[in-house]
Chains A and B, each alone.
Chain A
C-alpha cells in the first residue's frame, strides 16, 4: 500500500472516526456467538429506538453494554432507526460486529433483535416485559434485563445490570441501581449496618443498631416485614446468607466475638462455629458450595482472614503475615465462582482492596487511589463495589477487576458497607 493511498484513510481516522477505527481493530477476529475471546471487545451498535422513551431505552442499553466492559459501544449518539432492510456493510465499516435493534411494542414489552453484522443475519430475538411506570425502578430493571441478555448473546457472559446495591449512609440502609439510578433509603427501617443479600434477592439480613446495642434481623423486601433472628448475649453483627439460601452466619457474643450459624427457615438457637478463645471473629463470607466460611479474626493479635468449615472444623489462616508490615487484613468476600477472595489490607495511610487466589494464594492489589475498603463481588465475579474516599469522602465505587476501570456509583456522602445483589430478573 502506497503512502498516497494510506494518507486519506489516516486523516479520516484522526479527525472523524477514531473511536470507530479503534473499535474495528479489536473486532477483526471476532465472530459473534462463536469465537468471542477474553481480551477482545466486539463493537456493538445500538440503533436509535423509535417511539416514546426511545432515547432513554437506547441510552440505557448502550450504557449497560459499556458498563459490562466486554463490548465496545460504537457511536451511541445520532443515527436513524434502521429501515426494513439492514445495510450490514455500512455497520461493518464503522466497526460494528453486532447491531442491537430495540422497539417498544404496543403491549408494553421491549422487542430486541440482535444482528450478526459480518454474517449479515439476525441471530437472536426476544421480548422483555417492562412493568410499572415508564422510567420507574421496575421498568428500568426490565430494560437492564434486556441489556444483560444481549451481552450474553454476544459474549456468552451475562451482564449484571439488572442488579442493585445496598449500602449504609448515616446508619440507614440505602438502595441504588447498579448504574447509580434510584438512590434512596430503604423505607421502614431504623438504624442499620452491614446489609447482606439473600440469594433470592427478596430478603436482606442486616445488623440493626438500636440504643440497646446491635441485633441481626432479616427484612423481606417484597412484603416489607422484618424478623429478628435468635440472638446471643452482647453484640450481634455482620450477618451473611449462604449461597444455597438455607443458612445465616453472623458474629456475636459478650466476652469474645464468635461466628454463629442459624437456619434461615427455622428460628432455632444459634450454633457456634468458631472457637476464638476471647478473640474477635466476624465479617463472614460463604464459599459457593455453602460449606465453608471466610472470616476476619484477630486470634493472633491482629486482623487476618481465615477459612473454616461451617461446622467449625478445618480452620486455616488464609492471608499470611510473614514479612508483611501493617498486618491488618479483613472483610473477606468470596467470589461466586469460588476462585478468589477479595478483602481489604492495611497499607500506608489507609486500606487497599486485594484479592487472594484460593488455588495458589497469590495476592493482587486492585486499588491504589485513596483508601479503599469492604469489597463486594458483583454476580459476574468480575466487577465489585467497594468504599473509597478517593473523591474526598466515602462513596461507593464500581471496579472492573480486569481493566481496572472504575466509576463512582453513589454521590450522596458518607456511603459505606456496600453489598451487590444477585441478578434480580431471572434469565430467559
Chain B
C-alpha cells in the first residue's frame, strides 16, 4: 500500500453521496403490514387515531359464514360448551379470534435506516396490539430490536435496544404498563434475511415480539 492510494477519488465520492442521498430520501420500503391500514397513515394524530380504531376493529373476531353456530345471536364468548367435542369451554370462533390476536401481537414492526422512530406507516402495527394488551392484562411481551448489517456492530447492538425501547414507549404511553414489557437487542446478530441490498436491509431493521407470559389464556378483545 502506498500513500498515493490513500488519495480520495472525488468523482467516486460524489457518486456515492448522490446514491446515499437518494437512498435516504426514499420512503423505507417495508413489507406490507398484515394488519390492514384503512386510511393512508399520516403523522396527523386524528388520522393516526382513526387508523388505530380501524386496526382495533380489524383485530376483532369476524364471524365466518362457515362457522357452525346454532344461534348467531349468541355472543361468541359464551362459556357454553361448543358444538365440537373436546375443545373445552372455548368456542371455535373464540379460538380463531384468540389466534388472530396472537398473530397481531407477534407482528413485526420495521424501521428506517439508523432510526428508532416509529414511522407513521408502522403505527398501525402497534395500534393493533393495544386493545389486545389492554384486554389481556396478564400478557407480558418481550420486544427485541434488530438492525441491518451496516455500521459498527456495537453501535447496532445499542441501536437495536433503542428501537425496542421506542416500541415500549409507544405502547406504555397508550396504557400498557411498563412492567409488562421487556426490551432487549440483538443488533445485527440475528438477521431475518441474508440479503445484502436495501430490500434485505429493510427486512432486518425490525422489532420482534414474543409473549413471555399469559399467552395460554389469551383472548381477543371484545
Residues of A at the B interface (CB closer than 8 Å) are 171, 193-194, 207, 209, 212-214, 234-235, 237-238, 251, 253-257, 278, 280-283, 296, 298, 302-303, 325-326, 328, 330-331, 344, 347-349, 351, 365, 367-369, 373-374, 404-406, 416-417
Given A251-B154, A256-B165, A326-B17, 9 other A-B residues pairs in contact with their CB atoms under 8 A: A194-B154, A234-B164, A255-B165, A257-B162, A365-B6, A368-B1, A368-B5, A374-B152, A405-B1
**Interface contact A348-B16, CB-CB below 8 Å:** yes
- Chain B at the A interface: SS class: helix
Q: Can you show 14 pairs from A to B with CB atoms below 8 A apart?
A: A193-B153, A234-B164, A234-B165, A235-B161, A237-B157, A251-B154, A280-B161, A281-B158, A282-B154, A298-B155, A303-B155, A326-B16, A330-B152, A404-B1
Cross-chain contact B152 with A283 (CB below 8 angstroms)? yes
CB distance from B140 to the nearest CB of A (A): 14
Shortest Cβ distance from residue A324 to the other chain B in the assembled complex, whole angstroms: 11
Q: Is B55 interfacial (CB 8 A cutoff)?
A: no
- Contact (Cβ within 8 A) B161 A171: no
Taking a contact as CB atoms under 8 Å apart, the answer to whether A234 and B183 are in contact is yes
Bound CA–CA A171/B16 (angstroms): 31
For the complex, what is the distance from the CA of A238 to the CA of B159, rounded to whole Å?
A: 13
Docked-complex contact A171 and B153, CB < 8 angstroms: no
* Residues of chain A lying within 8 A (CB to CB) of residue B114: 302
In the assembled complex, the CB of B159 is this many whole angstroms from the nearest CB of chain A, namely 6
Q: Return the chain B residue nearest A416 by Cβ.
A: B153
CA of A298 to CA of B157, assembled, Å:
13
Task: Contact check, B152 vs A214: say whether CB atoms are below 8 A apart.
Answer: no
Residue on B with the closest CB to A374? B152
Which single residue of chain B is at the shortest CB-CB distance from A344? B152
Minimum CB–CB distance from B212 to chain A (whole Å) comes to 10
B204 interface hit (Cβ, 8 Å): no
CB under 8 Å from chain A, chain B span 142-158: 144, 151-155, 157-158
Instruction: Tell me how far the C-beta of B173 lies from the nearest C-beta in chain A, rounded to whole angstroms.
Output: 12
A235 is contacted by which of B5, B8, B151, B185 (Cβ under 8 Å)? B185
Counting CB contacts under 8 A, is B30 at the interface? no
Query: Which residues of the other chain, A, contact B158 by a CB distance below 8 angstroms?
Result: 235, 237, 251, 257, 280-282
B198 within 8 A of A: no
Are A234 and B161 in contact (CB-based, < 8 A)? Answer: yes
Q: List chain B positions with a Cβ less than 8 A from chain A.
A: 1-3, 5-6, 8, 12-13, 15-17, 20, 114, 144, 151-155, 157-162, 164-165, 168-169, 183-186, 189
Q: Return chain A residues, CB-CB under 8 Å to B189.
A: 171, 193, 209
CB-CB under 8 A from A193, the residues of chain B are 153-154, 157, 189
Q: Chain A: interface secondary structure? A: strand
Nearest CB on B from A384, distance (A): 14
Q: Which of B1, B13, B164 contacts A348 (CB 8 A)?
A: B13
Shortest distance from the beta carbon of A156 to any chain B beta carbon, whole Å: 26
Name the contact of B157 in the complex, choosing from A235, A254, A328, A374 (C-beta under 8 A). A235
Residue of B nearest to A283 (CB): B154
Of the residues A212, A234, A296, A326, contact of B154 by C-beta under 8 Å: A296
Q: Chain B's nearest CB lies how many Å from the CB of A336? A: 21
Q: In the bound complex, do residue B8 and residue A347 qualify as a contact, i.e. CB atoms below 8 Å apart?
A: yes
Closest chain-B Cβ to A49's Cβ sits at a distance in Å of: 33
Pick the contact of B3 from A209, A349, A373, A404 — CB < 8 Å?
Answer: A404
| Among B1, B159, B164, B168, contact of A280 (Cβ-Cβ < 8 Å) | B159
- Given A234-B184, A348-B13, A256 and B154 touching (CB < 8 A)? no
Q: How far is the CB of A245 from chain B (nearest CB, A)?
A: 22
Contacts of A213 in B (CB 8 A): 144, 184-186
Alpha-carbon distance between A302 and B114 when the two chains are bound, in angstroms = 9
B157 CB contacts on chain A under 8 angstroms: 193, 207, 214, 235, 237-238, 282
**B1 with A369: CB separation less than 8 A:** yes
Contact of B155 (CB < 8 Å), options: A209, A280, A349, A369: A280
Docked Cα-Cα span, A405 to B1, in Å, equals: 7
What residues on B are CB-neighbors of A347 within 8 Å?
8, 13
Which residue on A lies nearest to B210, using beta carbons? A211
Chain B minimum-CB-distance residue to A352: B6
- Whether the Cβ atoms of A325 and B159 lie closer than 8 Å is no
Whether B165 pairs with A349 at a CB distance below 8 angstroms is no
A209 to B16, CA, bound (A): 34
Q: Bound state CA distance, A405 and B3, in angstroms? A: 11
| Residue numbers in A under 8 Å from B20 (CB-CB) | 326
Q: A209-B189, A328-B151, A368-B1 are in contact. Are A349 and B6 (CB under 8 A)?
A: no
Q: Could you tell me the distance in whole angstroms from the C-beta of A228 to the nearest C-beta in chain B?
A: 16
Q: Is the CB of A253 within 8 A of B155?
A: no
Do A237 and B152 have beta carbons less than 8 Å apart? no
